[in-house]
Structure 1
Amino acid sequence: MDWDKLRIFHAVADAGSLTHAGDTLHLSQSAVSRQVRALEESLNTTLFHRHARGLILTEQGELLFDATQAMNKRLDAASARIRDSEEEVFGDLRVTTTLGFGSLWLAPRLPALYEDFPDLKIDLMLEERVLDLPMREADVAIRMKEPSQADLIRKKLMTVRMVLFASKSYVEQHGAPQDLKSLGDHRLICQSPDSIQVGAGQRLAVELMTQDITSLLTVNNYFGVLQGVLNNLGIGVLPDYVQVDTPDLVRVLPDVQSTEVPVYLAFPEELRHSKRIAAFRDFVQKQIALDRQKAAAPVMR
C-alpha cells in the first residue's frame, strides 16, 4: 500500500474536507482528490461518503483511519525518541565478546553502566565465534585481536597477557614453584589446547605441558580455570586482568607469561553517531583506567 496515499487519506479523514487537507499538505484540491480516488481503486472500496457539508468516513474508511492514526502515533513517538536520543542514552545494545573476557571482566562491571544509563537494554553475547558486525549480528564487539572486517571503527583498549596464578591459601599449603621444572610438582589448570582461545594462551599452555606435569586439569574456558584456582586445585593459566577483581590470587613464576594479546573495541561505521555506542565505549575506557589505578596503588599491609 502506497504510504504517500495513506498520508493524504489520513489528512483528509482528519480534516473532513479535501480543501482543508490540501491546505495542510500544500497540495491542490484536485491533487488530493486524485490520490484518494487512486487509493479507493487500489483497495476496491469506498472510503468516504461525500455530501454538501464535507466528507464522512465509510465503515471501511473508519478501519483504515484507525490504522493510519496508530501509524502516525508510532511515527510521532519514534521522532520524539530520535530527538531525545541526541541527549539521552536508551534502547537495545547488543555486545559481543569472548566468554572469558565477558564473564571475568565485563559482566562484573556492568552495574556501573546501568547506574549511569538505567534505560539501556544490553544483550551480552559471550562466544568465541567472531560475529559479523557489518551484517549487524551485534552492535559492538570487544575482541582479542584487531578486527579484519571492513567498514568498522576500531579502538585499541589495552593489552593482556596469560600468566600463572595460585590462590593465597594454596601457596600457604603447598608453596609456590621456583622455576619451570618445579612446576611439575603442582597440578596445572589451563584451557585445553584444543579449545577455541587466543593463540598466545594456547601456545603458553602447550609449552607448560612439556614440563613433565604430573597432574593436569583442562577446562574449555577461563571462568572454569579461575574456579579451579580459587578452590585450591592447583596453579592456573589466566589473563592478567583477573587479579584486579580477585585479590586472593598470587602471581607465581612472574617471568612466565604469554606474548601480548591486543584488546580492541569495534563497531560498524554506520553507528559512528550512536549515543549507545558512545556511552558503552566511554564506560569501558573508564573501567580500564580505574583498573590501572588500582593496579598501581600501593598495597596496604
Structure 2
Amino acid sequence: MSIDRLDWDTLRVFRVVAELSSMSAAAGRLGESPPTISRKIDDLEASLQTQVFLRSTRGVVLTEAGKRVLRYVEGMAEAAEALRRATEPPGAAVSGAITLCTSDGLGPYWIAPRLSHFHREHPKVRIRMMVSDEPADVHAEGNDISISFGEHRQPDTIAHKLGVQHYVGFASKSYLAEAGTPANLHEYHKHRCILHSSYANQVERSAPRMSEYRRMVDFAFITNSGTAIVETCARSGGIGILPSYMSRLDPRLVPLELPELAPVKFWITYTERVRRLPQGRLLIDWIRQLFELPEAIWFDDEFVHPLEYDKKVQELRPGTQASLRES
C-alpha cells in the first residue's frame, strides 16, 4: 500500500471511533453523520486491506490489526501536537486532551467537583475521566494518568504518593434511631453493613485489621457504585463504609464516633511521555496541589475523625475556614 493513500482526516476519525467504541458517538463528537463516519472507516479498511473494527449493534471493538493501527495513529497524533506546540506563538494557552483514570471515590467525589477551577485557568484543555475498580495501566493506549491504590512498580512509570484514604462508618440519623449505634468496632456485625467492592480489594492489600472485620460482618449490600452506597446509607439502609471526607459532601451521612476501619494509601502514576505533554504536566501538577490544600487534611497520614475535622484544620492551618466553605 502506498503511503500517499493514507489520509490523516480518516485516521483522525478512526482514532475517535476507537476512543468512543461507537460510530454514532464519534459522529456526534465530530459533527458528521453516522453514514459518513462508517464510509470513512470503510475507506481506511480498504486502504489498509485489513479489518480494524468488529461491528455489532452494541458498537465497535478494535481487532488485533486495529490495535496495531491505533498505536501508530496515537504516535502520529503526538507528532502533530508537538508540531502545533513548536509553531504556536509564545504565551499561547495550553490545549489538548488528557485522560485521567480514577477509582469510584476520589475521581467523582473529590476531583470532579473541583475541575471548574482547573478549567477557568486552562479552558482549552479537555479532560476525559475514566472510572474503574481496577488500576489503570498507564502504558496502555488511552490511559495517560492514573490515581489508584497500591504503588506501581512498572519500569518507566513515575509514581507519587498523594495521600491516605481513611475509611469510617456512616449511617443516617433515622437508621441510628431505629437500630442503635455500635459501641465499638466489634459491634458492626449486629448491623446491616454496606461495602464498596473495590474497598474490599484495597483493604485486603493494605489493612489486615479490616480483613478481620470483613470475616466477622455479613454485609447486607456490596456494590461497585459509591453513589449506590451513599443513597442506601442516607435512606436508612444501614451502615456504609465510606471515606472520611464523605461527611463534608453529604449532610445526610452521620459519622460514627468510632476509630477508622482502614487507612489505604493512594498514588498518582504516569509516564515520561505524558509528563512532557503540556496538558499532562498541567493536570499532574494541579492534582498534586489539590491534595495539599487545607481541606485535604482528610488525606494526611494521621487519621482525622470527621467530628474533629474543623477543629483540627484550625489548629494546624489557621485562617482556612473561608476556603473550606468555598470548596
Please confirm whether the aligned pair reaches a TM-score higher than 0.5, indicating the same fold: yes
> In the alignment, residue 275 of structure 2 is paired with which amino acid?
R
Residue number in structure 2 paired with 1:255: 259
- The question of 1:146 aligning with 2:146 is answered no
CA positional deviation for 1:125 = 1.1
Residue number in structure 1 paired with 2:287: 284
Report the number of matched residues. Answer: 227
Q: Using the alignment, how far apart are the partners of 1:122 and 1:82 within structure 2?
A: 23
Residue number in structure 1 paired with 2:54: none
SS in 1 for 2:240: strand
In the superposition, the TM-score normalised over structure 1's length comes to: 0.62
Residue number in structure 2 paired with 1:165: 170
- The question of 1:229 aligning with 2:233 is answered yes
Q: CA 1:293/1:120 → structure 2, altered by over 3 Å: closer, same or farther?
A: same
SS in 2 for 1:163: strand
Residue number in structure 2 paired with 1:175: 180
> In the alignment, residue 133 of structure 2 is paired with which amino acid?
E
Deviation per CA, 1:143-180: give whole Å up to 9, x if none: 11111211122211111122211134433454321124
Q: CA 1:274/1:183 → structure 2, altered by over 3 Å: closer, same or farther?
A: same
Judge which range, 145-154 or 182-191, deviates more: 182-191
Give RMSD over aligned pairs: 3.6
Residue number in structure 1 paired with 2:13: none
CA positional deviation for 1:200 = 5.0
Q: CA 1:248/1:212 → structure 2, altered by over 3 Å: closer, same or farther?
A: closer
SS in 1 for 2:237: coil
SS in 2 for 1:284: helix
The aligned runs of 1:194-233 (5 Å cut-off) are: 197=202, 199=204, 206-211=211-216, 213=218, 216-233=220-237
Residue number in structure 1 paired with 2:142: 137
In the superposition, the TM-score normalised over structure 2's length comes to: 0.58
Residue number in structure 2 paired with 1:243: 247
CA positional deviation for 1:267 = 1.1
2:168·2:241 contact (CA, 8 Å) conserved in 1? yes
Higher strand content, 1 or 2: 1
Percent of residue pairs identical: 24
Residue number in structure 1 paired with 2:124: 119
1:153·1:268 contact (CA, 8 Å) conserved in 2? yes
Q: Using the alignment, how far apart are the partners of 2:296 and 2:258 within structure 1?
A: 18
> In the alignment, residue 229 of structure 2 is paired with which amino acid?
V
Higher helix content, 1 or 2: 2
Q: CA 1:261/1:180 → structure 2, altered by over 3 Å: closer, same or farther?
A: closer
Residue number in structure 2 paired with 1:297: 310
CA positional deviation for 1:86 = 6.4
SS in 2 for 1:272: helix
SS in 1 for 2:220: strand
CA positional deviation for 1:221 = 3.5
2:98·2:279 contact (CA, 8 Å) conserved in 1? yes
SS in 2 for 1:184: helix
Q: Which runs of 5+ in 2 are unaligned?
A: 5-79, 299-305, 315-320, 322-327
The aligned runs of 1:85-124 (5 Å cut-off) are: 88-124=93-129
Q: Using the alignment, how far apart are the partners of 2:154 and 2:189 within structure 1?
A: 42
Judge which range, 119-128 or 187-196, deviates more: 187-196
SS in 1 for 2:143: coil
Q: CA 1:224/1:204 → structure 2, altered by over 3 Å: closer, same or farther?
A: farther
Q: Using the alignment, how far apart are the partners of 1:286 and 1:116 within structure 2?
A: 14
> In the alignment, residue 279 of structure 1 is paired with which amino acid?
L
Judge which range, 117-126 or 101-110, deviates more: 101-110
1:128·1:196 contact (CA, 8 Å) conserved in 2? no
1:144·1:198 contact (CA, 8 Å) conserved in 2? no
- The question of 1:272 aligning with 2:285 is answered no
CA positional deviation for 1:124 = 0.9
1:164·1:252 contact (CA, 8 Å) conserved in 2? yes
